[in-house]
Amino acid sequence: MTIMCKSCKIEAMRKEILKKDIPQLIKTLAARHTLYAPIKKGREFVFARIKNAKKVVLDYSTTILPPTKLFFPPRECLFTYDNVHLVDIHAILELDEIMLNKHPDYYYQKRREKTTIVGITGNDKNDDFHRALGVDIHQGYDLFLEDAGDRFLAKSITKKGDRILSKKWFKPTKIKEQAPAKEFSSAYQHLFELKSAVERTKDSKVWDKYAALCYGCGNCSFVCPLCFCSNVEDKPSLEKNKGIRERHYDACFFKSFTTVHARGDEGFTFEDNHRDRFYHWYHHKFVQMLAEIGKPGCVNCGRCIKYCPAGINFREVLEEVKKELNQLMKTLEHKNTRTK
C-alpha cells in the first residue's frame, strides 16, 4: 500500500456509488481477492473472510478485534481489506511506523504490500476524533467511502484505489467532500499532556488502586490495535533438522513475558510485581511511544474499556493520575511561596 504524508498535495480521484450497488462490488472483489469485511457476530461485529456479500455490514460500531490483527501475527496470504473506520486506519498507520521503519518486520511488510484498504465513515463517535487528526485527508487507505445519503462519495488516493474506482458501479460525481478539520484536535493534544502525569507519578497510589482491580488477563492488550507484544517459539520435528518457528500474541501483563532463563520455578523476572506491569502498560503507551514515534500508543478506540472484565476505564485512570500530579504541583508551589 502507498502511504501518503500529511504534507503531500494529492489529486484524489473522486466518484460516487449507489449503496444498492455495494453488494455487487463486494461480490466482484471477493471473486478476485481474499476479502475481509465486518459482519455481525451475536451483538458485536468482527472482521471475517467474505464469501457471501449479504453478510457484510457497513453501518457497524467498533469491531471486537481491530483490523491490525490481520497483519500480525504473520499469515502467508493475499487479501483485500475492506470497510475500515478512521480510528482503525489511524492505528494501521501508526503500527506501520513501528513495524516498518527502523527495523522492518519482514512478515508484516509482505502482508502490507499485498493489502488494499477501503475505509468507510462509521457510526462510531471516535470518527470525529480522528477527522480532527486529518487522518482521512491524505493517507491510510487506498479507497475511502463517505456516506452521502443513498450513495457513497468514493475517493481514491492510490493506484490500487483507482483500479477499484474503475468498476462500472462508480459514476462521476458532483458531491462535495466534507471539509477537513484541523490536523490536531484538543482531545489528541490532551494525550500528549498526560505524558508528564504518567511519567512523574510512578509511585502514586492511583496505580495501586487500579492494579488491585486488574485481573492481569491481557484482554486489553489482545484487543488493542497498537499492542504488538509477541513471543517466538521453536517447535522441532521428529525428523532431523526440521521444525517450525511460530510467533504468537503475548502480553506485558503476564509475568512470563518478562521472565528470562526460566526452568521450572527458576529464572529472573524483570517485572515480578503485577502493579509494576500495570503501570508499564500505561508508561509504554503514553510515555515511551511518544518518545519513539511522536505519538501515543492509543487511538482512543475504546476496545480495552469495552472488553475489560474488571471494568477499568483507561481514561479515568489517566484523569486521576493527572489530578494527583496537578495537586502535587500546587502543593510544591505553595511550599516554595512560604519558603520565600
Mean pLDDT of 306-324: 92
Instruction: For residue 34, list its beta bridge partners.
Output: 79
- The H or E element containing residue 15 is strand 13-18
Alpha helices by DSSP H, listed for 227-313, are 274-283, 289-293, 303-306
- Residue pLDDT, tens place only, 54-92: 899 888 888 888 888 877 643 333 334 456 777 788 788
Q: What is the structure's pLDDT at 51?
A: 86
Share of the chain above pLDDT 70, in %: 78
Reduced to 3 states (helix: H, G, I; strand: E, B; else coil), residue 109 is helix
Judge whether residue 39 has pLDDT over 80.
Answer: yes
Alpha helices by DSSP H, listed for the chain, are 22-32, 86-100, 106-113, 126-131, 159-165, 186-199, 205-213, 219-223, 274-283, 289-293, 303-306, 314-339
Q: What is the structure's pLDDT at 132?
A: 45
Judge whether residue 207 has pLDDT over 80.
Answer: yes
Average pLDDT, the chain: 79
- pTM of structure: 0.73
CB 280 within 8 A of CB 252: yes
User: Domain boundaries in the chain?
Assistant: 13-171, 186-332
Dist. CA 235–CA 243, nearest whole Å: 5
CB 78 within 8 A of CB 25: no
Q: What is the structure's pLDDT at 290?
A: 86
- Residue pLDDT, tens place only, 95-119: 888 889 888 988 889 888 888 998 8
